[in-house]
């Protein structure tokens, strides 16, 4: 009766077992790299929102623009409106169609609270499609 001590050796004495130690070492190094790099990707960055380099979307035939100037005066198209008369003027401009996209333009110096207040008024009136308009920036090469 023959007794075999090492079952992983073939007739030439070579082992057929895969050495996973280098694989584990590489995986641990990658894990450490990702653990260090992940917090760096979530750092708060000061942003300037008014400019955009995205492709401009095609405009509808008769777009409706709601503009807010630096002194907080509001306009629908070229007509000045107040916050109280804004919804009535929009109803007239959209002919009561609440699924019309309203293109919202605000001056760079308008504070975020004013913008959110106008958007909230639009939302409460049932205008849910609001397009934010920014200045187009062309890439120079």
Tens of pLDDT, residues 32-85 = 988 887 766 544 444 445 556 666 666 667 788 888 888 888 888 888 888 888
- pLDDT, mean over the chain: 77
Give the tens place of pLDDT for each residue, 71-118: 888 888 888 888 888 888 888 888 888 888 888 888 888 888 988 998
Secondary structure (DSSP) of the chain: ----S-TTB-TTS-B-----HHHHHHHHHHHHHHHHHHHHHT------TTEE-SPPPPPPSS-EEEEE-TT--EEETTEEE-TTTHHHHHHHHHTT-TTSPEEEEE-TTS-HHHHHHHHHHHHHTT---EEEP-EE-PPP-
Inform me whether the pLDDT recorded for 139 exceeds 70: no
pLDDT value at residue 128: 87
């Amino acid at each position: 009766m023959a007794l075999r001590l090492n079952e992983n050796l073939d007739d030439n004495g070579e082992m057929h077992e895969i050495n996973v130690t280098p694989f584990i070492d590489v995986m641990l190094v990658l894990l450490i790299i990702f653990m260090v790099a992940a917090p760096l990707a979530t750092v708060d960055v000061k942003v300037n929102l008014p400019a955009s380099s995205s492709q401009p979307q095609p405009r509808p035939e008769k777009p409706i623009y709601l503009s807010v100037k630096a002194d907080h005066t509001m306009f629908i198209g070229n007509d000045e409106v107040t916050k109280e008369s804004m919804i009535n003027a929009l109803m007239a401009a959209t002919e009561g169609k609440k699924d019309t996209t309203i293109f919202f333009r605000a001056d760079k110096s308008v504070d975020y609270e004013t913008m959110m207040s106008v958007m909230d008024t639009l939302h409460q009136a049932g205008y849910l499609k609001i397009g934010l308009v920014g200045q187009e920036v062309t890439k120079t090469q």
